[in-house]
A and B are shown apart, each in its own frame.
Chain A
Amino acid sequence: MKYALFLGCKIPYYIEQYDSSTRALFDLFDMDWVDIKFNCCGYPIRNLNFESYILSAARNMALAERKQVDILTPCKCCYGSFKHAQFYLQNYKELKDKVNEILKKENLMWNNHSKVKHILTVLHDEIGIQRLRTKIKNRLKTLKVAVHYGCHALRPSHITHFDNPLNPSIFEHLIEITEAPLINWSKKLECCGHPIWGKNDKLSLDLMQKKIDDAIQAGADVLCTACSYCQIQFDDIQIQQLSPAQTQLDTVLVTQLLGLSMGIEEMQLGIHKNKTNAKKIYDYVN
């Protein structure tokens, strides 16, 4: 298995534990990481300028193409951003030509030869549940987990091709191998609210609070994310913005949860680096 890891702009500074835990997890399955100096996926600039967005996304894919490797990203917004860019570049030849004209200055070219995959897809489809199961050391039989799908991988499904947009299941399948019980909650597929953070904070917090309330009501002990922005929203921003009196939901990354059940060291999982009290999941190991 060979991939270029696309971390995006948030992980290196805000959630470095996502980087280290991802690497540690895949190391168990003989991942061969190809190092590429990527740029921003284009998602943040998409609100302001379309061409900048397309060029950003295309350049990353072209860099991967040059090394003949596919991209794996742990962030759903990066994933969605790439998938949309592929869609536009494939469907609008003139756009593709213009982008390639700019990329040519760096001897780069976008020809759609590199695939882009989200971490959940690679874990689920490529490594496979069977193989993942063989590495399980710790079981989390009593930890009630609410999985958080995130919008940009799921929808629009005809562009992202991630999972069934109305009833997705790959995240659950992955968590099931830790034997942690999954909770059913009605707002599972809703937005975390982060895209509007910094633009309309009140709205952003309201949407987050609704999800937190819903998950807690459904009995969740912990929320599990697989996206940088969802993680920042439920981890950093939850702690910063909601007073301790308000209900709090501890947040853990999918790589941390799986990594813990596979016996990876805390050094690499970095669960204590999460701002919410995620380290309590250690109490559930048995």
Chain B
Amino acid sequence: MIFTISLYLSLGICILGLLYRLVSWFTLNTQLRGTHYGWVDRIKDASKAVIGSIFSVKCVNIIKTFIIEVVLQLHIIKNDPFRWIAHICIFLGFTLLLFMHAMEDIVSTALFSGYYSTVNPYLCLRNIFGLMTIVGIIMVVGRRYIQKKPLLKTNSRDTFAIVLLAIIFISGFLLEAVKIFSEPVFDQMVNDYGDPSATEDVEALKAYWATEFHVVFSDFNTSNISNEILETGKDVHIGSCADCHSKPTWAFISFPISKALSPAAPLLNKIRMDTWLWYIHFLACFIGLAYLPFSKFLHIVTAPLSLLIRSVADPKPENTANSETRRAIELDACTHCGTCSLNCSVAPVYQILNIPEILPSEKLSATKAIIKNQHDTEIINPDFQIASYVCTSCYRCTQVCSSGINLQDMWLTTKRSLHEKGIKDPYTVCRTTLVQKPDEKHLIPIDYHKVYRRIQDRFAYQYFHLTLRPETFTYCIQCQTCTNACPVMASAANNPNELLVSPQQIMNLMRMRLLHIAIRSPLVWDCLTCYKCQECCPQRIPITDIFYELKQLSVDLTFFDKANTNRLG
């Protein structure tokens, strides 16, 4: 009763949840910039694309991808063989158990005429598949919680999924173990398949099952069973039970567990531990089923979908209805596996700045939150802003993503859309706040104490002494060689509203300890870092490097000082 109700309930939630997802793929506005397409257009274009791909040469790609990436998942091996083994263990073990065991009424019984869950090969196979899954889960736990790579982030969704999976499999094995020695289950079977009134036969069968099938009976002494009784028991067994029961030793995982638990067997039999474990087992399964559309388990559907889409889609897509739909699916396809972050080109920047959103797996979650919140700019914090612009669009994460998500497209469009929303890159923010505007009469002085403190906090403080150490610029003889060499000074594109201070003048400002004015010179921010000035300087003043330092200092004071002083260093 509880079983049926919870099954249909969870199935109902699962189906509704999947429908909700399906609808969102065609309605969610993932157009970070440009026109948002309505669901009619999106369904129309998507169907066209699907039909177009299936009935063309592209179907070869689809079949190839299905075998290589969806089933064998060979694309994961290249980046992380360990993770491939773990995932393939869970994937195969889980899928095979799902069809053979969980859906036995629909699948196994229909396909195999002699199917009984307790007869070989099914009994043994179930243990093999279960073992595979458990091994996979242990590997995942090792990877996430023991090895603890600094770039691999684990969130509560990951933990919940792993715990749920572990509960399902551990309870399954325990259930099988407890059933092996269960007297009540034996009695029930006799009731269902035998004749409980034939007491002699039942006694003989008990004797046989106690010795050969390791059932633990409360009122039964196994030490003085005569061979005669055993023979009778065997006959009864062959007559009524043998067709459906292989020796429990074949359950090579559950059997040792059963043996280990057998001292407690009378108690466990009495409290009907098998029933309790059965409840835990199927309820955990049904929770998983109901939770599927809202959890990372959804990747069972979305990851293959995303991989198949990738195999036929344009790698450098235009902003079309289909790319909007694809993005919506991809946002649901991330398994938070961390492969992208482990390979991210700017991971060292994360190690210094400590902004999680720099890592693509975290940036994707943040992007998803922004999109789900209807692109509300309020929730875009400086961390996301910095992270988006720190990304070099190197394409690496897209190449390695195990779900085939086109992250490159995601980053490029986010960056552009942030820019359009006026959320500029840190460099531009600093330039705009610092460079003196023509109508500005008073300069906001820079707090030198703070600057010194910040610099000394930093592990690269020796380097920062460039701007603070007088010997770096005192020897400037104001010869103007640098100014004459500078291509920016010679360009006609300079903003006429901005005061054009030359490198030589900036060096003079530095000499006069007017760092706060120097930092406000447009040239510092328009410097090409071409090093022409520095190369020519007769006094070997590191002009370009001083400019670099001024910029780094400004970014530091503007972005990191407020947020978290411990962030750097």
Contacts of A190 in B (CB 8 A): 487, 530, 532
Decide: A156 and B568 in contact? CB cutoff 8 A: no
CA distance A193 to B529 in the complex (A): 10
Does the CB pair B349–A56 fall under 8 Å? yes
Minimum distance in angstroms from B532 CB to a CB of chain A: 7
Q: Are A199 and B427 in contact (CB under 8 A)?
A: yes
Q: B396–A51 contact, CB under 8 A? A: no
> At the interface, yes or no: A125 with Cβ under 8 Å from chain B?
no
Interface centre among B347, B348, B528 (most CB of A within 10 A): B348
19 contacts between A and B (CB under 8 A): A8-B394, A13-B395, A40-B346, A40-B349, A47-B551, A49-B349, A49-B552, A50-B460, A50-B464, A56-B349, A98-B459, A102-B351, A156-B531, A156-B534, A191-B528, A195-B529, A198-B425, A203-B491, A205-B493
In the assembled complex, B556 has its CB within 8 A of some CB on chain A: yes
Which residue of B has the minimal Cβ distance to A203? B493
Residue of B nearest to A102 (CB): B351
Does A281 belong to the interface (CB within 8 Å)? no
CB of B363 closer than 8 Å to a CB of A: no
Q: Is the CB of A12 within 8 A of B530?
A: no
13 additional contacts (CB under 8 A) given A45-B346, A50-B552? A9-B345, A12-B395, A39-B345, A39-B346, A49-B555, A50-B464, A52-B352, A88-B463, A102-B351, A105-B150, A151-B530, A156-B531, A206-B491
Give Cα A112 to B425, complex, Å: 33
State whether A95 touches B349 (Cβ < 8 A).
Answer: no
The interface residues of chain B lying within 8 Å CB-to-CB of A205 are 493
The reply on A107 being an interface residue by CB < 8 A is no
Question: In the complex, what distance in Å separates the CA atom of A49 from the CA atom of B394?
Answer: 19
Chain B residues with CB under 8 Å of chain A are 150, 343-349, 351-353, 390, 392-396, 399, 408, 425-428, 431, 458-460, 462-464, 487-488, 491-494, 525-532, 534-535, 542, 544, 548-549, 551-552, 555-556, 568-569
- Whether A44 contacts B548 by the Cβ 8 Å rule is no
Q: A259 to chain B: closest CB distance in Å?
A: 23
For residue B431, which residues in chain A have a CB less than 8 angstroms away from its CB?
A: 199
A55's contact among B348, B390, B425, by CB below 8 Å, is which? B348
Using Cβ atoms and an 8 Å threshold, which residues of chain A touch B395? 12-13
Contact in complex: A55, B351 (CB < 8 Å): yes
Complex Cα–Cα for A13 and B493 (A): 30
The answer to whether B548 and A47 touch across the interface, beta carbons within 8 angstroms, is yes
Contacts of B394 in A (CB 8 A): 8-10, 12-13, 40
What chain A residues lie within 8 Å of B551 (beta carbons)?
Answer: 47-48
| Chief secondary structure at chain A's binding surface | helix
- Assess the B352–A55 pair: CB atoms within 8 A: yes
* A51 lies within 8 A of B568 (CB): yes
The verdict on A94 contacting chain B, using a C-beta distance below 8 Å, is yes
A95 touches B396 (CB 8 A): no
Interface centre among B150, B390, B525, B531 (most CB of A within 10 A): B531
On chain A, the residues within 8 Å of B426 by CB distance are: 48
Given A39-B344, A155-B534, A203-B494, A46 contacting B349 (CB threshold 8 A): no
Nearest residue, chain A, Cβ from B399: A12
Contact A207 B347 (CB under 8 A): no
The verdict on A161 contacting chain B, using a C-beta distance below 8 Å, is no
Taking a contact as CB atoms under 8 Å apart, the answer to whether B392 and A40 are in contact is yes
Q: Which residues in window 14-50 of A have CB below 8 A to B?
A: 37-40, 42, 44-50
Q: How far apart sit A190 and B491, CA to CA, in the bound complex (Å)?
A: 12
Across the interface, which residues of B come within 8 angstroms of A59, CB to CB? 348
A51 and B458 CA atoms in complex are apart in Å by 8
Knowing A13-B408, A47-B427, A50-B549 are in contact, say whether A95-B459 is a contact too (CB < 8 A): yes
Across-interface contacts of B568 in A (CB, < 8 A): 49, 51
Cα of A170 to Cα of B102 in the assembled complex, Å: 70
How far does the Cβ of B31 sit from chain A's closest Cβ, in whole Å?
22
Chain A residue numbers with a CB within 8 Å of B555 are 47-49
Q: Are A44 and B392 in contact (CB under 8 A)?
A: yes
Q: Is the CB of B346 within 8 A of A56?
A: yes
The interface size bin for chain A is: 35 or more
Q: Let me know if A191 and B525 touch, CB within 8 A.
A: no
Contact A195 B530, beta carbon cutoff 8 Å: yes
- Kindly provide the distance from the CB of A149 to the nearest chain B CB, expressed in whole angstroms: 11
- Which residues between 149 and 165 of chain A lie within 8 Å of chain B, taking CB atoms? 151-152, 154-157, 165
Q: Mark A77-107, 1 if CB is under 8 A from B, else 0.
A: 0000000000010001011001000100100
Asked, given contacts A54-B460, A94-B462, whether A49 binds B531 with beta carbons under 8 Å apart, the answer is no
| Cα–Cα distance between A9 and B393 once the two chains are bound (Å) | 7
Taking the nearest CB of chain B, how far is it from the CB of A147, in angstroms? 17
Query: Which residues of chain B come closer than 8 Å to A12, judged between CB atoms?
Result: 394-396, 399
Given the known interface contacts A10-B394, A46-B548, A56-B346, the answer about A199 and B525 at a Cβ–Cβ threshold of 8 Å is: yes
B392 touches A9 (CB 8 A): yes
Chain B residues with Cβ below 8 Å from A155 are: 530-532, 534-535
Picked from B396, B463, B528, B542, the residue with its CB within 8 Å of the CB of A195 is B528
Is A66 located at the chain interface by the 8 A CB criterion? no
Which of A39, A44, A94, A203 lies in contact with B347, CB distance below 8 A? A39
Q: Within 8 Å of chain B (Cβ to Cβ): is A200?
A: yes
Contact across chains for B493 and A39 when beta carbons are under 8 A apart: no
- Chain A residues, Cβ within 8 Å of B548: 46-47, 50
Q: Which of A8, A45, A193, A210 has the most CB of B within 10 A?
A: A45
A196 at the B interface (CB under 8 A): yes
User: What residues on A are CB-neighbors of B353 within 8 Å?
Assistant: 49, 52
Q: Which residue of B lies closest to A95 (CB)?
A: B460
CB < 8 Å: which of A56, A154, A191 contacts B348?
A56
Bound CA span A200–B569, Å: 31
Q: In the complex, what residue of chain A is closest to B549 when comparing beta carbons?
A: A50
Does A280 sit within 8 A of B, measured CB to CB?
no
Known contacts: A45-B349, A105-B150. The answer to whether A157 contacts B393 by CB under 8 A is no
Residues of B within 8 A of A199 (CB): 425, 427-428, 431, 525-526
A193: contacting residue among B348, B428, B528, B569, CB under 8 A? B528
**A51 and B459 within 8 A (CB):** yes
Decide yes or no whether A202 CB sits under 8 A from chain B: yes
B547: min CB distance to chain A, Å: 10
